[in-house]
Amino acid sequence: MTASIALKPSPDVAYVLRIADTCLIHAQRLAEWCGHAPVLEEDIALANLGLDLLGQSRALLTHAARLEGSGFDEDQLAFLRDERDYVNLTLVELPLRRGGADFADTQWRCLVVASWLLPLWQGLQASRDSELAAIAAKAAKETRYHFEHAADWVVRLGDGSEESMRRMRAAIERAAPYIAELFDDDEVDAAAAQSQLGPRSSALRDAWLARLQRVLADARLALPAQGAFRSHGKRGLHSEHMGLLLAEMQVLQRAFPGGVW
Amino acid sequence: MVISAQPAQADPPTDAAWAVLAGVLDPEVPALSVVDLGIVRDVGRTADGVLDIVLTPTYSGCPATEAIEADIRAALAAAGLGPARIAYRLAPPWTSDWISDEGRRKLADYGIVPPPEAGTAVIRLHPRKLACPRCQSRNTERLSAFGSTACKSLHRCVDCREPFEHFKPI
């Protein structure tokens, strides 16, 4: 087994890694649908969504590695860090195919994350970091279609049969405790906003909500009230699901260090 | 819109490289060459005469990106023009506006509805009433924003009942 790597995270590296890891772990969960989605078309769609997110993550991880300066590459960052060193949003690590989740959870999560990424990519296009701005400009075009696709499904399920609406509502309830983390600021946000690297988390909330509200109205759904619970994946404190996810994602590189296709 | 960045002054190896690239097909949409697709942004030569090729990848997650680079290297080597330096340029991001007119014709002949022509209109994520590539009926509907690859959406003709794909504007 190969040893873990440890990074020297500057505020800039921490900021970029949060976005990179959120895209990476979201992609990993979506990839679990490959070969299992309810219809063939959706199987391919979810795999393609995951591929876009993985591509976005690769560009961001490569950039984070360059900023970090120890000479690591995207693969080492993706596969050789310990759980506490991943800084994705907790929402994207929750199971999509086990633990009582169903198809509605997948589409709701895709909608929530795309609605959050769109204003983030937009804000990053004004970054002082031209590489980050270029990655964001490219990703923004792709995420528009991710939003479209998830919005189509959420409306279809929400404004569908009694059963589909019940299950869509249940999925929204299950995700609710993990939404606050998307918009909670900390010192990484403050440094990024102050140095014009990118927008702080709280600055994304209005645009996120406006996008989501339009879809929710069409789907005859509503957001539940926010409770007191806070998740902290972006500070490296993960749910109990993260360890299993990483075990599966990392096993090949841990067992065969540097292995390539 | 500039479709490709052909050099102003004649340079035989560079011209030959463009000709070779025009024969390298996109493995996912083999109707199109990499030049038709508009991903070849520049072909020049380094100070020591090595071909210097700049590519702009289509989608971030396109699994064909690495295959295309390998195909380009192989084609240039076979033509006696290799080895080449291949670099990627992210900005400005690739757009379907860069697909050449010939590329649009090839897509249509292949049965894939091409994206709207460059600069024609605001990009419509939900295109209205695409014409069925088989029966030309405009009585069609979109089934999914994602088809067999990320760059295509899936549609259905309500009249002839056949499914078809559309190369999405992006």
What does A215-260 look like in DSSP terms, one character per residue?
A: HHHHHT--PPPP-S---BGGGTB--TTHHHHHHHHHHHHHHSTT--
Task: Report CA dihedral (A226, A227, A230, A234) to the nearest 10 degrees.
Answer: -20
Tens of pLDDT along B48-100?
Answer: 889 999 999 998 888 788 899 999 999 999 999 978 999 999 999 999 999 99
Task: Give the confidence band of B44 by pLDDT, cuts at 50, 70, 90.
Answer: very high
**Chain A contact present for B144, CB below 8 A:** yes
Q: How would you write B1-51 as a 3-class SS string?
A: CCCCCCCCCCCHHHHHHHHHHCCCECCCCCCCEHHHHCCEEEEEECCCCCE
Cα–Cα dist A37/A161, whole Å: 20
E-strand stretches of B111-167: 112-113, 140-144, 152-157, 163-167
User: Which residue among A45, A55, A149 places its CB closest to the CB of B60?
Assistant: A55
The reported pLDDT for the residue numbered B123 is 56
For A167, the token pair is: 């299950």
* Structural contact between residues B83 and B156, judged by C-beta atoms closer than 8 angstroms: no
Q: What is the pLDDT of residues A158-202, one digit of tens each?
A: 999 999 999 999 999 999 999 999 999 999 999 999 999 999 999
Note if the pTM is more than 0.90. Answer: yes
Q: Is the dihedral of CA A46, A49, A55, A57 positive or negative?
A: negative
Give B25's strand partners: B33
Task: Please list, residue by residue across A244-258, b when 16 or more beta carbons sit within 10 angstroms of its beta carbon and e when fewer do.
Answer: ebbeebbeebbeeee
Residue B62 forms contact with A (CB below 8 Å): yes
Beta partners for residue B123, in sequence order: none
Please tell me whether the peptide bond between B163 and the residue prior to it is cis, using omega within 30 degrees of 0.
Answer: no
B146: chain A residues, CB-CB within 8 Å: 41, 44-45, 48-49, 145, 149
Chain B closest-CA separation from residue A130 CA (Å): 9
Following CA atoms B131, B137, B139, B140 in sequence, which dihedral angle do they give, to the nearest 10 degrees? -40
User: Which of B119, B40, B146 lies closest to B87 in space, CA to CA?
Assistant: B40
| pLDDT over 90, % of chain A | 89
